[in-house]
């Protein structure tokens, strides 16, 4: 049998004579077929190794407040966020949880203002898509709770905070991940505007307690809330920009369950009852978890409520 190099030499010297032999002609056709396949593969490999220029994503981010005029509400949110970051995000803190909500962009804005030198060795853990995008677009180091199970400080927003620093959270449907980061933190801080500062949960935030449920079980959970646990107006949260219900980052549904004032005066009791319902993933009641809450006020002051032992102490920081 001719070798590959011999066949090619004979063919190039006298192709007609070489191909007159039937066995050689058949063998050569196979050789040429394989040679073409090999050449095509080399060309494809070379093109695959050509560097590809990445196309940047277009992400809508909050406009910097340095050059914009803010409403009174937005000013109070920024005031609370800035004050909390200044008090609690210290140089020694290297793993920081970033929560969700309308106040959180101001938290990230203030952290960025601390400078690249401080932030270059820090890792920031998000509670959801919004905070992840804030971290990435601010050129901060993005981390994951699996990599950093212990967090120095988590700062998050709240829908309402009572006299004992119990919170309703989940208006943005992130309560599961928010609670994971809150529990993982050595210090959990809440920031909000003055409207969220209440004597009892459910006073100003009237939609109810956000409850994340598996889609398969939502109907059963809804009936239990309405007929057994005392929330007859509990409803499945519907989306505003899509047909159907809101879907969380964890592919679950959200039920909003309003309860009467007497029930919300002791939120840890109703929290335990809701958690016992099969199909409930997490409840947007954060009880005995918050170390301090910062509320920005219309007059430029900040109301601070913080835990001191078993008591909650309130103070005001006046505008400078």
Query: Which pLDDT score is estimated for 60?
Result: 44
Does position 75 have pLDDT exceeding 80, yes or no?
A: yes
- What average pLDDT does the segment 133-137 reach? 97
Outline where the chain has alpha helix (H): 4-13, 15-19, 22-48, 72-88, 104-113, 116-119, 129-137, 175-184, 218-227, 261-264, 267-275
CA dist., res. 177 & res. 173, Å (int): 9
74 is catalytic: no
Does position 38 have pLDDT exceeding 90, yes or no?
A: no
CA dist., res. 316 & res. 307, Å (int): 15
Does position 58 have pLDDT exceeding 60, yes or no?
A: no
Query: Which pLDDT score is estimated for 39?
Result: 53
Does position 37 have pLDDT exceeding 80, yes or no?
A: no
- What average pLDDT does the segment 210-236 reach? 98
Two tokens at 308? Answer: 């001191």
Query: Which pLDDT score is estimated for 3?
Result: 52
> Which residues are CB-contacts of 250 (< 8 A; sequence separation ≥ 6)?
176, 177, 212, 281
> To which residue do tokens 């208006």 refer?
171
Measured distance between the N- and C-terminal CA atoms of the chain, rounded to whole angstroms: 96
Query: Which pLDDT score is estimated for 204?
Result: 95
Catalytic residue among 178, 183, 314, 315: 178
Query: Which pLDDT score is estimated for 27?
Result: 54
- What average pLDDT does the segment 161-170 reach? 97
Query: Which pLDDT score is estimated for 26?
Result: 53
Tell me 180's DSSP state: H
Does position 11 have pLDDT exceeding 90, yes or no?
A: no
User: Average pLDDT, whole number, for the chain?
Assistant: 86
Does position 45 have pLDDT exceeding 50, yes or no?
A: no
Residue burial 160-175, b: 16+ Cβ < 10 Å; e: rest = bbbebbbbbbbbbbbb
Handedness of CA 260, 264, 269, 274 (dihedral sign): positive
Strand pairing class (151-156; 253-257): unpaired
Does position 301 have pLDDT exceeding 70, yes or no?
A: yes
- What average pLDDT does the segment 145-166 reach? 97
Q: Which residues are paired to 153 by β-bridges?
A: 96, 187
Query: Which pLDDT score is estimated for 179?
Result: 98
Q: Give percent of the chain above pLDDT 70.
A: 79
pLDDT greater at residue 166 or residue 55: 166
Radius of gyration over every alpha carbon of the chain, rounded to an integer in angstroms: 31
- Closest to 196 (Cα-Cα) out of 89, 73, 105, 110: 73
Phi, psi of 76 (to 5 degrees): -70, -35
Q: Which residues are paired to 211 by β-bridges?
A: 255, 283
Most confident of 30-34, 269-273, 298-302: 269-273
- Closest to 252 (Cα-Cα) out of 155, 162, 170: 170
Q: Which pLDDT tens digit goes with each residue over 173-218?
A: 999 999 999 999 999 999 999 999 999 999 999 999 999 999 999 9
Angle (nearest 5°) at CA 173 between 168 and 175: 50
Enter the pTM of the model.
0.78
């Amino acid at each position: 049998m001719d070798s590959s190099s011999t066949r090619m030499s004979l063919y190039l010297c006298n192709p007609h004579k070489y191909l007159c032999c039937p066995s050689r002609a058949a063998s050569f056709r196979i050789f040429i077929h394989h040679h073409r396949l090999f050449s095509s593969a080399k060309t494809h490999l070379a093109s695959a190794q050509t560097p590809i220029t990445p196309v940047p994503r277009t992400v809508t981010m909050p406009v910097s407040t340095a050059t914009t005029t803010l409403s009174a509400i937005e000013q109070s949110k920024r005031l609370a966020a800035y004050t909390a970051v200044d008090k609690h995000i210290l140089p020694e803190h290297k793993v920081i949880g970033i929560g969700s909500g309308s106040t959180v962009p101001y938290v990230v804005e203030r952290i960025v203002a601390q400078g690249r030198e401080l932030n270059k060795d820090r890792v920031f853990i998000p509670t959801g898509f919004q905070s992840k995008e804030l971290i990435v677009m601010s050129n901060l180091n993005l981390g994951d709770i699996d990599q950093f199970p212990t967090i120095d400080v988590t700062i998050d927003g709240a829908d309402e905070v009572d006299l004992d620093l119990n919170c309703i959270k989940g208006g943005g449907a992130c309560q599961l991940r928010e609670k994971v980061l809150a529990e993982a933190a050595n210090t959990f801080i809440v920031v909000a505007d003055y409207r969220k500062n209440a004597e009892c949960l459910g006073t100003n935030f009237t939609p109810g307690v956000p409850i994340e449920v598996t889609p398969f079980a939502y109907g059963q959970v809804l009936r239990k809330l309405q007929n057994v646990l005392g929330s007859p107006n509990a409803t499945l949260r519907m989306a505003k920009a899509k047909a159907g219900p809101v879907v969380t980052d964890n592919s679950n549904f959200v039920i909003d369950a309003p309860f009467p004032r007497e029930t919300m005066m002791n939120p840890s009791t109703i929290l335990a009852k809701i958690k016992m319902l099969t199909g409930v993933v997490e409840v947007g009641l954060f009880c005995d978890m918050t170390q301090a809450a910062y509320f920005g006020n219309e007059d430029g002051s900040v109301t601070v409520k913080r835990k001191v032992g078993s008591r909650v102490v309130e103070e005001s920081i006046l505008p400078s």
